[in-house]
Structure 1
Amino acid sequence: MGLDVVQRSTIRALLPVGVQKVGASQAQQTQRRKGKTGLAKQNGTTRRFQEKLREYEDWGWISRGHLLIAVHDRGALLDHALHGERNLPPKLLDVERAIAKIREDQAAAEPDDRLIEQRRKELRALMRLMQAPVTGVNRSGTRSVRFVNRSRVI
């Protein structure tokens, strides 16, 4: 997106929604339905997202906070995204859902919210990403992101 700081929620909104699963045996799930015990639901996409953030932070590419992620090595992240990841899903980024999430956060924000300007920057970056010239194959059909020229990303 070309930003040095991005909200965690914005990046998560770009990823697929994922499926929530109850991580327990059938007997434990039955007890949960009866109200005897509470089991946490696990979303595989969210779990993998958190693992990747932790991994990238260990490698020194980012710093992650509770709300924000600071990018330190954009080139390494881009190179890893283009060449290091195998078996990418056909629809890589859900830009429309990310924009909807940012707008939802803006509507719910207080007038003195510290992240107002950050949300505006993210919206502008996502709009630029959607307006960039097509330089590759659009594998996911409609409602997808265009592949951006490397020179415009770095």
Structure 2
Amino acid sequence: MSRNSDRPVPTGDYEGYDPVGGVGVGRKVAYALASLRLDVVQRSTIRSLLPVGTQQIGASRAQQAQRLKGKSGLVKKNRTSKLFQQKLNQFEDWGWISKGHVLIAVHDRGALLDHALQGQRDLPTRLLDLERAVAKIREDQAAAEPDDRLIEQRYKELRELMRLMRAPVTGVNRSGTRSVRFVNRSRVI
């Protein structure tokens, strides 16, 4: 499925590059969705491929004092999770994905990959944390009920993550087993 012509599409400039930290969350989300050759992916799998992020407590001093007294809870904010949600909303607005509460349907893998690689000359050696994603899926499998509907989905995602770990290096960046190896676009799509 291609882009919907009545929706806004990205401009030539991409705000997802952080000159200090390398590739931003938006590019990582787009690359993760494109590199896993699945039409449907769990949100938790894509989120586990991103950095953990830091928890910040978002509350006033009065609310913090009330929490210490046990009267109210504090809102915890994770910047990476917030950016992840914003990028999913943006990609859905552009017609590249459809997101649900648990699953994400990928409609335009080529556009996601183009968006992730747009204007990049050198990508960092460690783009996605594959080992963390594999550990998260295995943890979900261990906690799942025998009649869980997502059992087969988790197996598909594990197979794709293992494929990425074993993929031959064809790009300029060689990475270890903890990160994505950049494969030819023809192998991704």
- TM-score, normalised on structure 1? 0.89
Residues 1:102 and 2:137 are matched in the alignment:
yes
How many residues are matched? 154
- Partner residue of 2:148? 113
Q: What residue identity is the alignment partner of 2:133?
A: A
Ranges of 4+ aligned residues in structure 1 off by more than 4 Å: 139-142
Residues 1:42 and 2:88 are matched in the alignment:
no
Q: How far off is 1:35 after superposition?
A: 2.1
- What 5-or-longer segments of structure 2 have no aligned partner? 1-35
Q: How far off is 1:84 after superposition?
A: 6.3
- Partner residue of 1:72? 107
Deviations 1:14-66 (A, max 9, x none): 00000000112344323322323222101110010001001111111000001
Alpha-carbon separation, structure 1, partners of 2:140 and 2:42: 11
Bigger share in helix: 1
Change (3 A) 1:91 1:118: same
- What 5-or-longer segments of structure 1 have no aligned partner? none
Alpha-carbon separation, structure 2, partners of 1:33 and 1:140: 45
CA RMSD between the two structures: 2.3
Q: How far off is 1:79 after superposition?
A: 0.6
SS at match of 2:168: coil
- TM-score, normalised on structure 2? 0.74
Change (3 A) 1:91 1:31: farther
Q: What residue identity is the alignment partner of 1:129?
A: L
Change (3 A) 1:7 1:64: same
